[in-house]
Amino acid sequence: MIYGATGYTARLATGYAKAAGLDPVLAGRDAAALAGLDGETRAFTLDDPAAMDAVLSDVTVLLNCAGPFLRTAEPLMRAAIRNGAHYLDIAAELDSYRLAEKLDGEAAARGVMLLPGSCGSVAMLGCLAARAIETVD
């Protein structure tokens, strides 16, 4: 599932997912905006845990592309943990890293991975570090 699916980065992620043969569920808070997207859509807000659980019950991976992450990361991380779905976001924000650290024990007990910053700093720095190592030799 890609939450915040109508945003620029989420549209890019959706394109890459589809090119890789995946069929992501596209989600966000505005059903009317989601209606224009190609694929299965689910609209929900982050202030109703029961509604979130209903739409996440069959999701295995949740990519959060909806900012501000200060408001979206916690409810989505907690919902992912409750539903056994791995959580990723594109935030690269200190608050998201700290929240993932705080929730790590609970997530690990459920077999859930929490990976904030997965589309930015983590991936970019890993690639840059690998390239730097290659050029030093």
pLDDT digits (tens, 9 = 90+) for 69-120: 999 999 999 999 999 999 999 988 889 999 999 999 999 999 999 999 887 6
Q: In angstroms, how far is CA 28 from the centroid of its own chain?
A: 12
**What is the pTM for the complete model shown?**
0.86
Task: Give me the helix-helix angle, 69-83 and 94-109, nearest 10°.
Answer: 10
Selected residue with higher pLDDT from 130 and 38:
38
